[in-house]
Amino acid sequence: MKKLIPVILAMMLLSASSRAQDKNILFSQYRFNGLTLNPAYAGSHEVFSASFLGRHQWLGFEGAPKDYALNFHFPGKNTKTGWGGNMIYENIGIRTTMGAYANYAYRILMGSGTLSLGLKAGIASAHQEVLNLSDNDPVFSESTSDYFLPNFGIGLYYYSDKIFAGFSIPLILGYTSNDNGEVIIDHDFSRYTYYLTSGIHLYLQDNWRITPSLLAQYGINSGLVVDGTVSALYRDVFGAGLSYRTSGALIMLLNYRVNYQTTVGLAYDFGFSGINQYNRNSLEIALQIDLGFKINRANPMIF
């Protein structure tokens, strides 16, 4: 196993580099993570709403990715605007990346729904730990590719009591290393990752709501990945769902509304990719808190 450590670390570094360039954001419970994916989601709950997500991939695999997201958002006093902030933290192998962003949305009433236009801006940073695995290999003995640079995102989101749909580019800027090894901003349309969300609420009698939904992400380098989900909500309290990810995962979703303000969620990914001969699954937890009183306006519960 010790002989595999340099190989594993190299794999993690390559993965981290790829993720930084493609700017992919992976969470199975995207219902709790709308603001990270789309700045136009700000204010859509019509109350102050905060959520936390934690995701551990490839359980039991040393150095496997760990991702965390913290979001909060609320409507403006005139209800035409939405405001929010979100933070993202990822640790993979010997590399850590972080981001902190402010979000703004301008919302326009359209019939029974609302069209929201969103913008985000903030700072992204990364740090790589110093290792001494080999005296002859500077790759693992120097702290390289650290950065502290700005980034931006844009999005559109339409929602009503029955349907929702969104399109976004959460992170527009990319980063690359110059001849001196310094990380600099490198804007390239080919490195964009595009996100599309959509779904419909089907109300069955008074107690049940069935929601088929879709999350698709596309990047030229990473290709197309689609999450197709069907979830059921009973009496606005207990929910369960099943999702299939085309990159190779079957996902079980559970959520429970503890009280009017607090909802907890759990996702368990059964992976089918090649890495799963060593480690098969991923675990994700979520917590959402909504404070205040709802007003008479479209208020989607599922992103």
Contacts 24+ apart (CB under 8 A), 230-236: 231/31, 231/302, 232/208, 233/208, 233/209, 233/301, 233/302, 234/207, 234/208, 235/207, 236/209, 236/301
Structure-model confidence comparison of residues 124 and 64, the more confident one:
124
Flag whether pLDDT at 19 surpasses 70.
no
What pLDDT does residue 17 have? Answer: 42
**Using 50, 70 and 90 to split pLDDT, how confident is the model at 59?**
confident
**Using 50, 70 and 90 to split pLDDT, how confident is the model at 237?**
very high
Flag whether pLDDT at 6 surpasses 80.
no
Q: Which of 235, 162, 231 is nearest to 205 (CA)?
A: 235
Task: State percent of the chain over pLDDT 70.
Answer: 81
Element (H or E) spanning 22, and its range? Answer: helix 5-22
What pLDDT does residue 20 have? Answer: 44
Residue 298 in tokens: 């479209």
Spatial contact of 75 and 109, defined as CB atoms under 8 Å apart:
no
Structure-model confidence comparison of residues 187 and 262, the more confident one:
262
Within the chain, residue ranges assigned H as helices are 5-22, 34-37
What pLDDT does residue 110 have? Answer: 92
**Using 50, 70 and 90 to split pLDDT, how confident is the model at 95?**
confident
Spatial contact of 213 and 198, defined as CB atoms under 8 Å apart:
yes
Count the neighbouring beta carbons within 10 Å of the beta carbon of residue 33.
27
Average pLDDT across the chain, whole number: 83
